[in-house]
Amino acid sequence: MASRTLTVGVVQQRCGERRDENLAAGVAGIREAARRGARLVLLPELHALRYFCQTEDPALFDLAEPVPGPTTEALARVAAELHVVLVASVFERRAPGLHHNTAAVLDADGRLAGLYRKMHVPDDPGYYEKFYFAPGDLGFEPVPSAAGRLGVQVCWDQWYPEGARLMALRGADLLCYPTAIGWSSEDDPAEQARQREAWRTIQRAHAIANGLCVLVANRTGHEPDPSGRTDGIRFWGSSFVAGPQGEILAEAADDPAVLVAELDLGRSEEVRRIWPYLRDRRVDAYGDLARRWRD
């Protein structure tokens, strides 16, 4: 079977208080990935901002911007200059009082190829996202781009097999997860290790179950809680690229890093021929999956 290769990049970065510095760090990572041959580059969730959802503060809605807007327009110029496809998560101001956690795909010519709005929105200690973000309304639709059909989801989405499956069923060539996840200081080292390994495992499982490569970009470093009620979050980094059998092709530690890996997208069909999960699905028996619970 003929190979179809794509070199991809993943930027793992620290995020500080200044939007311009965060964006500059992301762009520097994009340039390094492109210099090393990447034609698709993934940035972390909300990479231009500190992770502000650790507290509920109406004033923080001022951080939001339209799409297209300043961040996507700046990245569109970089995409066109370097001829790379970019996936970037932004705090989208859609209308007064209506905001989303949105991943924008900037095509290799700088065009806005499409959007994905985060579907699963958490409301947990340190991750009060429901205060800021409405659930996405664009569904699980891959975004066509010069790098292929991108099954983009965002952070909390990465724990749900349904979203990955629907992206696969709609023809995604690979799955992309910009994310922002880390540890609380209240968790002991054993619990921290379990959390990180669960996060790696569930996303590798999406690769295996769907026969697709997976790209994951996390932020890294400690970010304080703006309210001062907690010690903040230490983001664990660990960004990675996995192949269609869940094999790790590239992985970062917990420092800023730029990963580059070559994917053979043709292997997805090869793997699916030997492990035909899509063929053997019992679609006649899955109706209860659309229910909250089976009483």
> What is the residue-wise DSSP string for 13-71?
----S-HHHHHHHHHHHHHHHHHTT-SEEE--TTTTS--GGGS--GGGGGG-B-SSSHH
Q: How deeply is 90 buried, as exposed, middle or buried, from its count of CB atoms within 10 A (0-12, 13-18, 19+)?
A: buried
Number of independent structural domains in the chain = 1
Domain for residue 293, yes or no?
Answer: no
Question: Which of 155, 176, 213, 223 is the catalytic position?
Answer: 155
Residue 155 is among the residues annotated as catalytic for this protein: yes
pLDDT in tens, the chain (295 residues): 556 999 999 999 999 999 999 999 999 999 999 999 999 999 999 999 999 999 999 999 999 999 999 999 999 999 999 999 999 999 999 999 999 999 999 999 999 999 999 999 999 999 999 999 999 999 999 999 999 999 999 999 999 999 999 999 999 999 999 999 999 988 999 999 999 999 999 999 999 999 999 999 999 999 999 888 889 999 999 999 999 999 999 999 999 999 999 999 999 999 999 999 999 999 999 999 999 998 8
Question: Which of 118, 176, 213, 223 is the catalytic position?
Answer: 118
Domain for residue 279, yes or no?
Answer: no
Domain for residue 275, yes or no?
Answer: no
Domain for residue 167, yes or no?
Answer: yes
What is the gyration radius of the CA atoms in the chain, in angstroms?
18
pTM value is 0.96
Domain for residue 180, yes or no?
Answer: yes
Domain for residue 39, yes or no?
Answer: yes
Domain for residue 169, yes or no?
Answer: yes
Domain for residue 142, yes or no?
Answer: yes
Residue 45 is among the residues annotated as catalytic for this protein: yes
Question: Which of 15, 45, 65, 223 is the catalytic position?
Answer: 45
CATH number at residue 176: 3.60.110.10
Domain ranges, residue 238: 5-270
